[in-house]
Amino acid sequence: MSQARQRRLPQQARSRELVERILTAAGELFADRGYPDTTTNLIAERAGVSVGSLYQFFAGKEEILAALHDKWTARLGAELDERLRMDADTALDFADTVDHVLDVHAALNRQPPGLLGFLLISTADNGRSEGVAEAIRRRLVDMLALGAPVLSLQRRTVVAAMLVHISLGLYTVGSTAGATDPAVRAEVREALLGYLMPILRDGPYGPAHRREASGEG
């Protein structure tokens, strides 16, 4: 993974606000125009800053994309962790959990439209194009240790990678609309459940455990 980082970290509120404007503008342009057709000049113009100001914080668009990956890895991770924690507390059926995860995808992929999808499937040659997807995969490995404790680490790693691969269908089938496209969302949901349910059947997310937790049977 690339070690590209901002050349200067913003210390003052004004500088932090400027960097945030640059990242917001870049995210909109990357999602709209794609990475190859987005330049630092365009980013600066969209952000309402000079190119010189942009270069105070970023050596180029590669570092801007790396910063977006870092920001969205943290943001998506926090959203998913909170959603999954709430579901665990209420002992929901796993299908409901999948729906809630897709809800998170849909909400974040609107802010701005298409950016989350872009970051997940980006193949820009900067060494960080899989940052967000890789972070999701690592979380899934940990979750599977709880939901399917009989699986070996090697199997959990493969299953997690497959889940990420299936989920990327949200952004590679048709368009980057992701979970906001009802038809694509429905197909990805069915694929996720069809793949996961046999794996989780005997674990804490399986139907027998859910009935026991709810006092049934």
Residue 113 β-bridge partners: 110
Domain spans of the chain, in order of start: 69-214
CA atoms within 13 A on the CB side of 209: 15
Look at domain 69-214 and name its CATH class.
mainly alpha
Rounded mean pLDDT of the chain? 80
- Return the higher-pLDDT residue of 124 and 8: 8
Say if residue 217's pLDDT is above 60.
Answer: no
Position 90 scores a pLDDT of 59
In the three-class reduction of DSSP (H, G, I as helix; E, B as strand; rest coil), residue 152 is classed as: coil
How far apart CA 161 and CA 137 sit, in angstroms, is 6
What are the pLDDT digits (tens) for 6-19? 556 666 788 889 99
How far apart CA 215 and CA 4 sit, in angstroms, is 53
Q: Taking the model in full, what pTM does it have?
A: 0.74
Average pLDDT over residues 65-89: 79
